[in-house]
Every structure is written in C-alpha cells, then in structure tokens.
C-alpha cells in the first residue's frame, strides 16, 4: 500500500483515538480533536491526566477504550510515541498516524519500524488538516508544499 492509500484509509475510519490531546483548550491538539468531531468522527480523547474533553470521556490508555477504535492519531513527543505504539499493538490497533506539522512532531523512526513489523498501517508524519477538503488556505498551502506525493 502507498502512503497516500494509508492516509485515505485512516481518514475513512469513523472511530479514531487521538492520544496526547492537551487539557489546554487553546492548544492545537485540542483544535484538531474538535475538527475530527466536527467532521463526524467518533473521536476518542486519550490523556492520562483528564477525565473528559469537550463532553467526551477521556481514556488513560489506548487499551482502556471501549468499544475499540479503528485508528490512533499520536500527538505526543517521539519518546512517548514508542510507548503508545506498544499500547496500540497490545490493543490490536491496525492503523497508526504519528502527527507532524513542523519539526519532528511525534515521529520516531524506530517506532515506524516497530509498527510496520507488526503489520500496522503507519503514517509517519503530516497533519490530517492537509488532507481534508474545505480547509483554510494555510492548510491547503501546506498540502501543496509538503505532501508526500
């Protein structure tokens, strides 16, 4: 499968977890979470330091989510990403997206290899805003300048 197909496959899922969503309501990860909800996803926040976010139950770990999700978007530093990938493997998650807009983001080369060795579809970088229709000019420009194809 190509990266383009993996991205489309992830975005076609309806129940996804966002791991590392900030408790800070103004943080970008919170904005991204709200955008998933706005677009009709059953978005599940995961943060071990929060009980709920925007009226949705927040889970401490991927393995705690019931019913299970179809994909996980990781919004943590790379060192934490490794632990989240292990959690995803334990929970049987087959789709993992390691967020990155600028800088290193959540991507860990070792973790990408781990996910692939477990048969997971992995997206090593990029931001979902780049691939949705009807987004701001800034996100469309980011897509044109940084898309992987």
pLDDT tens digit sequence for 47-99:
999 999 999 999 999 999 999 999 999 999 999 999 999 999 999 999 999 99
pLDDT score recorded for residue 131: 79
Q: Which comes out higher in pLDDT, residue 52 or 144?
A: 52
Average pLDDT in the 117-133 region? 88
CB 63 within 8 A of CB 85: no
Pick from 11-20, 53-62, 98-107: least confident: 98-107
Of 40, 41, 60, 39, give the one whose Cα is nearest residue 49.
60
Which pTM was predicted? 0.89
- Which pair of structure tokens corresponds to residue 142? 């980011």
pLDDT score recorded for residue 136: 55
DSSP character at residue 120 = -
Q: How far is CA 139 from the centre of its chain?
A: 17
Residue 9 burial class via C-beta count within 10 angstroms: exposed 0-12, middle 13-18, buried 19 and up? middle
The H or E element that residue 94 is part of is none
**Bridge partner residues of 71 (DSSP):** 16
């Amino acid at each position: 499968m190509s990266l383009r197909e993996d991205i489309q496959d992830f975005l076609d899922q309806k129940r996804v977890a966002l791991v590392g969503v900030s408790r800070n309501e103004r943080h970008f990860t919170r904005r991204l979470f709200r955008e998933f909800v706005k677009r009709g996803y059953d978005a599940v926040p995961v943060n071990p330091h929060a009980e709920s976010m925007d009226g949705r139950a927040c889970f401490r770990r991927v393995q705690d989510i019931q019913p299970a999700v179809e994909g996980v978007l990781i919004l943590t530093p790379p060192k934490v990403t490794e632990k989240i990938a292990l959690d995803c493997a334990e929970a049987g998650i087959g789709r993992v997206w390691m967020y990155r807009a600028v800088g290193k983001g959540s991507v860990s080369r070792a973790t990408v290899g781990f996910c692939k060795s477990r048969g997971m579809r992995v997206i090593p970088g990029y931001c979902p805003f780049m691939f949705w229709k009807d987004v701001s000019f800034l996100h469309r420009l980011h897509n044109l300048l940084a898309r992987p194809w």
